[in-house]
Structure 1
Amino acid sequence: METAEIARRFLAFFEKNGHTVVPSASLIAEDPTLLLVPAGMVPFKPYFLGQRTPPHATATSVQKCIRTKDIEEVGKTSRHATFFQMLGNFSFGDYFKERAIPLAWELVTTPVEEGGFGIDPERLWVTVYLDDDEAAEIWRDKVGVRPERIQRMGKEENYWDMGVPGPCGPCSEIFYDRGPEYGAEGGPEADENRYIEIWNLVFMQYERGEGSGKDYPILGELPKKNIDTGLGLERLAAVLQGVDNIYETDIIGRVLHRAAELTGTRYGDDEQQDVMLRVVADHVRSAVMLVGDGVRPGNEKAGYVLRRILRRSIRNLRLLSGTDASFLHELTEVSIDAMKDIYPDLLDKAQVIFGVIDTEEKNFADTLRSGTALFNRAAERTRAAGGSTFSGADAFQLHDTYGFPIDLTLEMAAEQGLQVDEDAFTELMTRQKETAKRDAKAKKLGNADISVYARLLDTSGATEFLGYTDHEGEARVLGLIVDGEAVGAARAGDQVEIVLDRTPFYGESGGQLADKGVIEADGRGVADIDDVQKPLPGLFVHRGTVRSGELVLDDTVRAAIDTDRRASVSRSHSATHLIHSALRNALGPSAGQAGSENRPGRLRFDFTAERALGEAELAEVEEEVNTVLAGDIQVRDFQTSLDEALKMGALAMFGEKYGDRVRVVEMSDYSRELCGGTHVGATGQLGVVKLLGESSIGSGVRRVEAAVGIDAFRRLSKESLLVGQLSEQLKTPREELPERIDAMVTRLRAAEKEIERLRAERVLQAAADLAAGARETAGALLVVHRAEDGATGDDLRRLALDVRGRLDADRPVVVAVAGVPKDRPVVVVAANKAANQRGLKAGELVGVAARELGGGGGGKPDVAQGGGTDAGAVDRALSAVEARVATSA
């Protein structure tokens, strides 16, 4: 049975049994205590915690999940994966064990031709919590599972909680027996490799108190008992498709076998290669889903997770193929095709997904080059110091800063005859993981308290937004919140959050900043509003300060926005849509929106792109946008179904959640997007749009910024004034300024080069005198010299080598030269072959000097360079070299 069919049957079964089918939430968690969604129940967490009232008594879903805690185990076991899908059925105080258990058994064992999964009951075992007699009895008496197939397990295996005070309860799990060839008899407690868990039924019936791990008190029963189940889609697919592990199922297996073809390997021939192929298959699919949900590669949070799995994929592909060829584009295509039956929206996002992943693969190739250079310098320092062990600190820096896997460092070190201090590397990795665990634990301890907003939303309903047509209106005060607590009144000076039944204020969303304005109770009090947020969908929370008097619950008030600010922000928002269309016309559909901000008179627009735009392309985009403005196209908005909007070509932003009904904003056929923001009535109202620049803000993501309307005019006026001043000062017509400035810059650079040449010559003129003044120290000829400030590192290096070359090559010679270019001290040491034979090596001597300077350095035995931060220690650094030579006899 194909994976997509398993998911379809699961949802159909529970829908037939009265459950509402809920689509998967985004992988990007709304819960501020989480980075990504790690479990199927996460989107329902506010209902289980009582923070929000569930819209349905029961629900079922196929939830996308990401877990990276055990990323190092991916590919090594039959069950670990970073991306997986959790089938679940949920009851919010509706039914409990007596229905959840029989439903699970019915679906799993019902014959395929009758809509079930058709698993032989004789292959199934179940576990229950130690003292959960109720669940054991239902399994035995109602379902008919033989008592010897029901095993009781402890708190670690069969008890669930959220890691914080709140709901908890026992679990019951269904295991599938893979057969004697996979391990020992005796059920799950005997061998969890043979007996694999496929479904976990969680019975939330108690409230837990404070504690750590599984050591906490039970405070009592919950007023409403809940059901949360999780059936691993990939694990069940492995069982129903008769394969050994999840990597060989129909969806993941397609990527795995294509990776084998591309790299010239064959799955099943070599265990080490098999692990790498499984890692690639898992990680490519994970990357596709993360990018599809709006994540972009970066150095922190979800972006770091994406970057890490992509780089692990690239590294494994290079090891498998023995080449630096690019394979991710084709594997991404295979993965999208394999997943499209479950997630058809991947086809619409395909070009953006390709663009992001292709760019990261290219960037990592550049990173590998940079990291390799760092490795070579560190290896050179190791050999120069006479060592044979590459430091664990350097290996960790390569891993942490450049994304170098440790196996790459080990391989490169072995090629140069070096070992790696793996113990030190492991210690540093352990420290990092412990820090990460502490951070994760700290995050778990808190759960954003949105209950005060949830109660308002539940009791009063969503806020009616008037702002598309009205700039002010009468409203009723439904809620007042001061210092996180609901209050009956807010008085002068209070920082207050105000919830109204209706409002003209736009709440910050979709890149558009919130409105500002006032809320006034006639003759009673006035509050200045400087921000509006929507902590829950449909709930507008006005944040500001009570200027005078007081506002009281149930007051009738007048809410009025700053209309000039609204008009300016609306112009920026409409300009954003136009720039988006112009960029797509210039770069193709892969230029997808990756974020935006619309503020008064200014905007920024982030988009996916594999390369920078040249000045000529930016000029064309700007001209195209302003041509549309001159056409004074009417801006129209209307509501329709999501399907209909997408059919007519309306663009949707990645990461945004849309309901069944959506608002479309269109400017003729030039621009058509799903958007809840405010806009101008016609494009001519924008006046003018001036692009201010384009830059990179991350892997595969670029940003343009622009001024709009009067702000754009002021910018152009300022630039015109500046050009006029230059024209006057240089006595050159405006149109000839580029050539005149270019000629001046050329002459200036030539002069700087000549000055540099003369200065270098002056430094080298000292070589003969320095050589003549060499003094004998412990049988060696020694020269130490402080050059004039400003001499570059290259000057010092040339001087040291010149002096060394003038001295007797048959005698040990050491030359140490130091200077302070650009406020940072540099020292260069040159030693000849005779000195090396005496144990005087440049790399070691530079280290002696650099320590005095508060830094480090290294190089070959014959010449080495170092530096530091203490410019006042140059003389001490040279004295340290002199002292080291003096003790070498």
Structure 2
Amino acid sequence: MLTAEIRRRFLDFFERNGHKILPSASLVYNDPTLLFVNAGMVPFKSYFVGAEPPPAPRVATCQKCVRTLDIDDVGKTTRHGTFFQMLGNFAFADYFKAGAIEFAWKLVTGPQSEGGFGFDPDKIWVTVLGPGYHPDYPEGDAEARELWRAVGIPDERIQGRSLKDNYWNMGVPGPGGPCSEIYVDRGPDFGADGGPVVDEDRFLEIWNLVFQQEDLSAVRAKDDFDIARQLPSQNIDTGAGLERIAYLLQGKDNMYEIDEIFPVIEKAAELAGKVYGENRDDDVRMRVVGDHIRSALMLMTDGVAPGNEARGYVLRRLLRRSIRSMRLLGVESKVLPALLPVSRDLMSASYPEILKEWDRVSANAYAEEDAFRRTLAAGTQIFEAAASQAKGAGASVLSGERAFQLHDTYGFPIDLTLEMASEQGLDVDRDGFKRLMQEQKDRAKADARAKKGGAVDTAAFTDVRRAGESRFVGYSDLSAEGRVLGIVSGGRLVDAAHPGEIVEIVLDATPFYAESGGQDADSGILTANGVQLDVLDVQKPVDGLISHKVLVGEGEVRPGDTLLASVDPVARRHGAASHSATHIVHAVLRKILGPTAVQAGSYNKPGYLRFDFNANAGLSKGMREELEGLSNEAIDAGYDVTDTQMSLADAKALGAMAMFGEKYPDVVRVVEMGGPFSRELCGGTHVTNTAQIGMLTLLGESSIGSGVRRVEALTGKDAFAHLAKERALVATLADLLKAQPEQLEDRVGRMVAQLKAAEKEVADLRAKELLGNAAALAASAETVGSYRLVARQLSGVGGNDLRTLGIDLRERLGSDASVVALVGGTDDKPVVTVVTNDAARAAGAKAGVLVGVAAEKLGGRGGGKDDIAQGGGSNGAGAADAFAAVRAALAG
């Protein structure tokens, strides 16, 4: 049974049983505690904690997920994958344990001819919470055990397990409850008998049913928590692993051989001239390729671009591990153009958006492969320098610190370091490397826990949300009365706010726009008789609430009081103008660059905007001028700006642009400017006509990561002020140069040419002076091992002059094995040049390696050919250490 068919059967089954089918949320989900959606329940967290009402009492999804904590196990086990799909059915105050168990049993064991999965009922085992693991459950989950008996599972195939296995919570105070897991017996070929408690390879978990019924007041560990009370309503949260079900129903031994992954492995084997199944190490590498190519494809489809931080770093690592695995399989040529389209064709049946985004995705991926190939070339030089230094010091082991630096700083894979070290007769301190890697992981986990801990701070707002919600009236009104629903201070609800305090006020109605969608929050005041609060910030701490961070200036405020909320009209007008200008910039960029110029982020505030977009190359001067010109044409055209409420499906059919990672309701707001000119899903505030923007001035365009560019611009009076300042500068220059403004370009051009000529003349004189001293420098050569070495610091001398002098010195030193090492530049920006002659190179001295050794002591990097190489750094005081390192390398 194909994976797509399993997915369809699951959703059809629950749709027939009264569930609303929801699409998968983007992997880039709007949750500050997560890099990616890592479980099927993530999009429903706000419903489970009561922060907002669910879209229906019963829903079902097939959710895209990514987990990378166990990335090093990918390919080695039967079930570790970075991208996976989680089937789930959810009930909010609707059916509970009996319904969830009955649904799962019918689907899992139902005949395939009737839409079920067709698993043999005699092969099904289940686990429930066992007795004695928590004081509130002295008998364990006896109710779940009885319900499984009722559907036909004998008691010997129902096993009790601990809280770690069969109790679910979010890791923070909130909802929790026992869970029950469904396992399939794969048979004696896969392990020992005795159920999941004996062998979880033979007995494979395919589904987990979570029974949310308790409110936890404290969570110290997965198996250490306090239950405060029963939840007012019971919920069902289930998760079934689509890939696991697929490889069982397809008769495979592991998830890598299912229909959505294995063709990529076959292509990898073809490129490498290998046969899958003949060599375990090769098989692991091919499985890594199959898994990572699919994961990278899905992440890029959802808007992630390769980068050095957060999500971009994870994607970069997936792509580079794939390329590196193919290299270990013997493929040195480019591989992504052959592999990625295979995964595209496999996954687009379930996710047609892959085809829509393919041009952008493939361009980013192929550019990343080109960049990594350059990294491998540069990293090889860094490694050779490190190896040379280690051997020069008489060491036989490359330090864990150096291996970690190669991995973490230069993106050089550890397995490549191990391979190349072996070729050089060196071992690698693997324990030291693993220790540093673990420290990095621990820091990442601690950071994640810190972010997750932030969720505790929303508990007070969740309590407020249960009592009501905030209604935003700011599209039509800039002032409105609102009743205080709650006051939060230090993460806790308080009964009053007093003068001088900074607190957060939640109103039941407000005209203040809360920061979201890249738009800055409104500013203004909250007032009442004898009360004035200055609004410092406005946020949405939980869905459905708008919180005003205020400084209490006068009076006292209590829950239930009525306040007049007044938005600063000038700031709102200018902020709306910048937001509308952002939409115009987006539309114009897509006109210039095509549909691949998708928004990757934005920020706007009164008078200023920045807009990030996907592109693999910067904008030319002509493109920047076109962007600014067409944007101002759209402003001058006076397009009406309208907003319309419509269904999400209708909005997409209309062609409205949506942001990756944003969560949209069934009914959305579509903002249009000039009809089809700009049409986006947007909840922000806007002008009513583009002419109200006034004007737009482009400040610049730059790269902010691989495949992502950023433009910045000013709008309205800020744009005018910027141009006025530039006009004043032009007038000053014209006055200084005694020229008309239109003559400045020619006049300055001539001056620059004259300056360059003068600089060249000075450089020539300096070079002659240096060469005049060359004889004395050559005479000062010292003997190091079997080499003659000239090592000298020449402060103030630039790189070109060092190179010229180094070549001259090499000739003067004759046919003996000779090396020249020169450091010039300045204290904060030193440069280094290393030159070798034929005899030195024949003896093993390579300039490219030696310059790396020297540049490291200068706080920088270097590289080049075997005969001449250059580098630089940031610490000129390290020159003596640099020369010492070169001497040590030569002596070795």
Q: TM-score, normalised by structure 2?
A: 0.87
For 1:253, the aligned partner's letter is F
Partner of 1:582: 588
- Map residues 553-632 of structure 1 onto 2, 5 A cutoff: 553-632=559-638
- Contact 2:671 2:680 (8 Å CA) reproduced: yes
Partner of 1:197: 205
Does the 8 Å contact 1:629/1:688 carry over to 2? yes
Establish whether residue 85 from structure 1 lines up as the match of residue 85 from structure 2.
Answer: yes
Residues 477 and 556, structure 1, Cα contact 8 Å, conserved in 2: yes
Give distance in 1, aligned partners of 2:289 and 2:473: 51
**What's the offset of the Cα at 1:525?**
1.0
Contact kept, 8 Å, 1:238 with 1:246, in 2: the verdict is yes
Moved more, 501-510 or 386-395: 386-395
Partner of 2:189: 181
**Whole-angstrom distance in 2 between the partners of 1:385 and 1:144:** 72
Cα gap change, 1:381/1:617 in structure 2, threshold over 3 Å: closer, same or farther?
Answer: same
User: Are 2:292 and 1:283 equivalent residues in the alignment?
Assistant: yes
> 1:693 maps to which residue?
700
The counterpart of 1:302, out of the listed 305, 311, 336, is 311
Structure 1, 649-658 or 161-170: larger mean CA deviation: 161-170
Cα distance change, pair 404–846 in 1 and its aligned pair in 2 (3 A): closer
Q: Give runs of aligned pairs for residues 662-677 of structure 1, distance below 5 A.
A: 662-668=668-674, 669-677=676-684
Write the letter of the residue equivalent to 1:712: A
Give, as a single letter, the amino acid of the residue that structure 2 aligns with 1:66: V
**Compared with structure 1, are the counterparts of its residues 753 and 705 closer, same or farther at alpha carbon in structure 2 (3 Å cutoff)?**
same
Structure 1, 600-609 or 759-768: larger mean CA deviation? 759-768
Equivalent position of 2:334 in the other structure:
325
How far the C-alpha of 1:404 sits from its partner, in A, is 1.9
Structure 2: which 5+ residue stretches go unaligned? 132-139
- Residues 466, 504 of structure 1: 8 Å contact kept: yes
Which position in structure 2 is the counterpart of 1:11? 11
In the other structure, the counterpart of 2:689 is 682
Aligned to 1:477: 484
In the alignment, which of 633, 638, 648 is matched to residue 642 of structure 1? 648
- 1:884 and 1:89 map into 2 onto residues whose CA distance is 65
CA distance in 2, matches of 1:849, 1:337: 50
Give the aligned partner of residue 455 of structure 1. 463
- Matched residue, 1:761: 768
Q: Is the 8 A contact 2:50 2:466 kept in 1?
A: no
Q: 1:377 to 1:795 in 2, by over 3 A?
A: farther
Q: Once the 2 structures are TM-superposed, how far is the Cα of residue 684 of structure 1 from its aligned partner? A: 2.0
Does 682-691 or 868-877 show the bigger shift? 868-877
User: Residues 803 and 3 from structure 1, CA distance in 2 versus in 1: closer, same or farther, beyond 3 angstroms?
Assistant: closer
1:530 maps to which residue?
Answer: 536
2:714 to 688, 697, 707: 707
What SS does structure 1 have at the residue aligned with 2:224? coil
Counterpart in 1 of 2:136?
Answer: none
Give the drift of 1:47.
Answer: 4.9
- How many angstroms apart in 2 are the aligned matches of 1:447 and 1:875? 53
What per-residue deviation string (whole Å, max 9, x for no partner) do you get for residues 460-510 of structure 1? 23x332222222233333333333333443232221322222222222222
Listed one character per residue, the Cα deviations across residues 138-178 of structure 1 (whole Å, up to 9, x for unaligned) are 26631222333333444544444444455555443222122
- Measured in 2, the distance between the counterparts of 1:733 and 1:549 equals 61
| Change over 3 Å in CA distance of 1:705–1:630 after alignment to 2 | same
Q: Distance in 1 between matches of 2:200 and 2:388?
A: 49
Q: Structure 1, residues 118-151: CA drift from partner, whole Å, max 9, x if none? A: 1111222223343236257426631222333333
| Secondary structure of the corresponding residue to residue 469 of structure 1 | coil
Q: 1:497 aligns to what SS in structure 2?
A: strand
Paired residues for 1:199-238 under 5 Å: 199-204=207-212, 213=221, 216=224, 219=227, 222-223=230-231, 226-238=235-247
Structure 2 distance, partners of 1:840, 1:825, is 23
Output the amino acid matched with 1:366. R
Secondary structure of the corresponding residue to residue 705 of structure 1: strand
2:60 is matched with: 60
Report the counterpart of residue 151 of structure 1 in structure 2.
159
How far apart in 2 are the matches of 1:587 and 1:44?
37
Q: Distance in 2 between matches of 1:675 and 1:840?
A: 62
Question: What does the per-residue CA deviation read over 1:605-646, in whole Å, with 9 as the maximum and x for residues that have no partner?
Answer: 111112111010111122222222232222222222222222
1:28 aligns with 28
**1:540 maps to which residue?**
546
Change in Cα spacing, 1:356 to 1:766, as seen in structure 2 (3 Å) is closer
**1:408 corresponds to which of 408, 413, 416:** 416
| Residues 1:655 and 2:664 are matched in the alignment | no
Task: Provide the rounded CA distance (Å) in 2 between the counterparts of 1:882 and 1:585.
Answer: 59
Listed as ranges, the matches of 1:731-742 within 5 Å are 731-742=738-749
Shift of 1:745: 2.0
One of 524, 527, 539 as aligned partner of 1:520? 527
AA at the equivalent of 1:122: D
CA apart distance, 1:305:
1.5
Amino acid across the alignment from 1:731: K
1:752 to 1:822, Cα distance in 2 relative to 1, 3 A: farther
- CA-to-partner distance for each residue in 1:702-731, whole Å, 9 max, x for gaps? 111111122222222222222233233233
Cα 1:864–1:251 shift into 2, 3 Å: closer
Cα distance change on mapping 1:546 and 1:331 into 2, 3 Å: same
CA RMSD of aligned residues (A): 4.2
* Preserved CA contact (<8 Å) 1:385 1:843: no
Contact 1:819 1:874 (8 Å CA) reproduced: no
| Kept in 1: contact 2:533–2:553 (CA 8 A) | yes
Q: Give the C-alpha shift of residue 567 in structure 1.
A: 1.3
**Stretch of structure 1 that moved more, 765-774 or 72-81:** 765-774
Give the superposition deviation at 1:400. 0.8
Paired amino acid for 2:104:
A
Whole-Å Cα distance in 2 between the matches of residues 430 and 227 of structure 1? Answer: 36
Taking the aligned partners of 1:15 and 1:876, their CA distance within structure 2 comes to: 72
Specify the code of the residue in structure 1 equivalent to 2:588: A
SS in 2 for 1:591: coil
The two structures have a TM-score, normalised by structure 1, of 0.87
Q: Secondary structure at the match of 2:260?
A: helix
Q: Which moved more, 1:95-104 or 1:664-673?
A: 95-104
C-alpha contact (below 8 Å) 2:458/2:491 kept by paired residues: no
Cα distance change, pair 841–702 in 1 and its aligned pair in 2 (3 A): closer
CA contact (8 A) 2:523 2:536 kept: yes
Deviates further, 411-420 or 497-506: 411-420
Give how far 1:111 is off: 1.0
- Equivalent residues in 2 for 1:231-246 (5 A)? 231-246=240-255
The aligned residue for residue 146 of structure 2 is 138
1:393 counterpart SS class: helix
Identity of aligned residues (%): 53
Distance in 2, matches of 1:123 and 1:621, equals 64
Which residue type is aligned with residue 660 of structure 1?
D
| Gaps in structure 1 of 5+ consecutive residues | none
The alpha-carbon distance between structure 1 residues 851 and 466, as it changes in their structure 2 partners (threshold 3 A), is closer
If you compute each CA radius of gyration, which structure gives the higher value, 1 or 2?
1
C-alpha separation between the residues in 1 aligned to 2:325 and 2:861? Answer: 34
CA distance in structure 2 between the partners assigned to 1:882 and 1:456 by the alignment: 70
CA contact (8 A) 2:382 2:849 kept: no
Range with bigger deviation, 876-885 or 756-765 = 876-885
**Relative to 1, partners in 2 of residues 1:760 and 1:440: Cα closer, same or farther, differing over 3 Å?**
same
Q: CA deviation at 1:700?
A: 0.8
> Cα 1:550–1:92, aligned 2, differ >3 Å: closer, same or farther?
same
Give, in angstroms, the shift of residue 283 of structure 1: 1.6
Whole-angstrom CA distance in 2 between matches of 1:334 and 1:882: 52
Give the number of equivalent residue pairs. Answer: 881
Counterpart secondary structure, 2:514: coil
| Letter in structure 1 aligned against 2:305 | R
Structure-1 separation of matches of 2:371 and 2:722: 35
